[in-house]
C-alpha cells in the first residue's frame, strides 16, 4: 500500500480490480471455480490406474498442516487475500511493464518459490510437511508454481484484471488440495495436468504471452 497509494495509475487499478466485474465471460468464472477441484479429482482418478487407493476421494477430518496459534483454514483464507493484493496490484504490474507476460510468470515463479522456502523450517506448516514427506514433493510444489502462475495471470488479464477472482482461484488451489485424502503422488499428477493445460493456453495465445507491450494483451 505504501508503494501503491502515491501512484495514481496503480490506485485506479486497485479500485478497478476489486470492484469491476463487467465484461467477464462466463467461461472464466467456470475456470476460476472449477479448475483446481476438477484437476485434483482427475489426478486422483488417474492415480487409481497405478494402484493408488480410492480412499483419496474421501473428505479429510482435519487439514494436513498447522499454523501455530492460527487454524489452518484461517491461513488458507488469509494468504490468498494478502499475497494477491501485493502480487497483482504491485508485483505483476511492475514486472509486466518491463517484460512480456510469459517472462513475468517465470520471474514470479522464482520469487514465489523463494518466498515460501523459509516456511519449510516452520514445524507443522505446509511446506515443512512436504519437506518431511519427501524432497520430491517439495520439488513438485516449486514446479507447480509455474503452471499456476501462467493460468492465474491469464485469468487475471482475461477478466479485466479482476482481483476478486484471482483471490478465489488462489484459495481454491489450496483448499482443493486439502479437502480430500489426496496421496502426495496424485499432486504430482495434478502438476502434470496443469502443465499440459498451461502449454495449450500458451500455444493458442502466443501473442498474449509474448507481446512486449502490456496494452496489446487487452486487444
What is the rounded average pLDDT for all residues in the chain? 87
More confident residue, 177 or 203: 203
For 138, residues 6+ apart whose C-beta sits below 8 A from its C-beta are 120, 127, 130, 131
Q: Are 109 and 159 in contact (CB under 8 A)?
A: no
Of 81, 94, 72, 79, nearest to 3 (Cα)?
A: 94
The reply to whether 140 falls in a domain is yes
The reply to whether 46 falls in a domain is no
The total domain count for the chain is 1
pLDDT at residue 62 is higher than 80: no
Query: How many whole angstroms separate alpha carbon 69 and alpha carbon 177?
Result: 22
Provide the domain limits for residue 187: 104-214
- What percent of the chain lies above the pLDDT cut of 70? 95
Compute the half-sphere exposure of residue 130: CA atoms within 13 Å on the CB side of its CA: 22
Q: Mark out the alpha helices in the chain (DSSP H runs).
A: 8-19, 26-48, 72-86, 92-96, 101-116, 126-133, 135-158, 163-179, 184-204, 206-210
Across 142-154, average pLDDT: 94
pLDDT at residue 215, rounded to an integer = 53
pLDDT at residue 114 is higher than 80: yes
Most confident of 73-77, 90-94, 130-134, 172-176: 172-176
The reply to whether 209 falls in a domain is yes
Grade residue 218 by pLDDT with cuts at 50, 70 and 90.
very low
Query: How many whole angstroms separate alpha carbon 130 and alpha carbon 59?
Result: 20
More confident residue, 88 or 144: 144
Of the listed ranges 13-17, 32-36, 186-190, 203-207, the least confidently predicted one is 13-17
The reply to whether 54 falls in a domain is no
Of 75, 78, 56, nearest to 67 (Cα)?
A: 75
Count of all residues that appear for the chain in the document: 219
The reply to whether 64 falls in a domain is no
The reply to whether 170 falls in a domain is yes
Q: How far is CA 30 from the centre of its chain?
A: 16
Grade residue 102 by pLDDT with cuts at 50, 70 and 90.
very high
The reply to whether 126 falls in a domain is yes
Across 4-26, average pLDDT: 78
Across 156-177, average pLDDT: 90
Q: Is 119 exposed, middle or buried (0-12, 13-18, 19+ CB in 10 A)?
A: middle
Q: Is 25 exposed, middle or buried (0-12, 13-18, 19+ CB in 10 A)?
A: exposed
Grade residue 219 by pLDDT with cuts at 50, 70 and 90.
very low
The reply to whether 164 falls in a domain is yes
Name the pTM for this structure: 0.87
Amino acid at each position: 500500500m505504501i508503494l501503491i497509494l502515491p501512484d495514481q495509475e496503480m490506485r485506479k487499478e486497485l479500485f478497478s480490480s476489486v470492484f469491476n466485474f463487467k465484461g467477464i465471460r462466463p467461461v472464466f468464472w467456470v475456470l476460476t471455480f472449477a479448475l483446481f477441484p476438477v484437476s485434483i479429482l482427475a489426478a486422483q482418478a488417474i492415480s487409481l490406474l497405478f494402484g493408488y487407493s480410492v480412499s483419496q476421494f474421501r473428505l479429510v477430518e482435519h487439514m494436513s498442516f498447522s499454523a501455530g496459534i492460527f487454524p489452518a483454514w484461517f491461513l488458507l483464507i488469509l494468504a490468498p487475500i494478502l499475497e494477491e493484493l501485493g502480487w497483482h496490484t504491485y508485483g505483476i504490474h511492475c514486472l509486466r511493464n518491463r517484460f512480456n507476460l510469459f517472462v513475468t510468470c517465470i520471474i514470479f515463479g522464482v520469487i514465489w518459490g523463494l518466498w515460501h522456502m523459509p516456511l519449510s523450517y516452520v514445524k507443522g506448516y505446509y511446506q515443512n510437511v512436504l519437506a518431511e514427506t519427501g524432497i520430491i514433493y517439495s520439488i513438485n510444489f516449486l514446479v507447480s508454481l509455474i503452471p499456476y502462475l501462467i493460468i492465474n495471470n491469464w485469468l487475471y488479464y482475461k477478466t479485466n484484471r479482476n482481483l476478486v477472482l484471482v483471490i478465489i482461484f488462489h484459495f481454491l488451489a489450496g483448499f482443493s488440495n486439502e479437502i480430500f485424502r489426496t496421496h502426495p503422488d496424485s499432486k504430482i499428477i495434478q502438476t502434470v495436468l496443469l502443465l499440459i493445460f498451461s502449454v495449450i493456453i500458451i500455444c493458442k495465445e502466443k501473442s498474449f504471452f509474448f507481446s512486449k507491450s502490456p496494452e496489446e494483451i487487452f486487444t
